[in-house]
Amino acid sequence: AVEEFLAELRCPQESQNADISQTTAVKFLMARKFDVSRATDLFKAYMNTRVKEGIYNINPNEEPLRSELLSGKFTVLPGRDAKGAALALFTARLHRPHLTTHKIVLQAIIYQLDKAIESVQTQRDGLIFIYDMTNSIYANFDYELCVKILNLLK
């Protein structure tokens, strides 16, 4: 499955994916239970988001990403669900669309998701993304960002 995944993404139409490692391939394949077609779709959505938003290098120590990471808006929780899946929480009430950009929020999400899927258990058992709207108000809502997050995860 790994070789099929890599071959699919290394075809001439996908030239920007030429240097994908086997480790990366396994992460995306495990996320889709080794269904090569679904795993390549997930990888393409991930890369499309990064390209569209101009997210190439993520440095968690640089502002404004550092502040976004420390805000607690998006976090991978320390516990797991009953089946072992990691839990990722986006707290909508902490989102202030007028104080940040989609690029920064998506960088924070991608950075933390990339770190979360370094865990073999998370690769095997999955990750549950929770979009918590408790106590959020209209000013916290950002439809375009929601769509971008969903496209990243689908």
Per-residue pLDDT reduced to its tens digit, 103-151: 999 999 999 999 998 999 998 899 999 999 999 999 999 999 999 999 8
Nearest CA-CA partner of 106 in 40, 153, 38: 153
pTM of the model: 0.85
Contact 94, 88 (CB under 8 A): no
Q: Is 35 part of a structural domain of the chain?
A: yes
Say yes or no: 107 and 39 in one domain.
no
CA pair distance 86, 104, nearest whole angstrom: 23
Residue 25 belongs to some domain of the structure:
yes
Q: How many domains does the chain have?
A: 2
Domain boundary residue, one of 27, 52, 77:
52
3-state helix, strand, coil in the chain (%, to 5): 55, 10, 30
Q: Quickly tell me which residue has 């969903």 as its tokens.
A: 150
Res 94 pLDDT > 70: yes
Residue 14 has pLDDT above 60, yes or no: no
- Average of pLDDT values for 35-64? 92
Shared domain check, 85 and 9: no
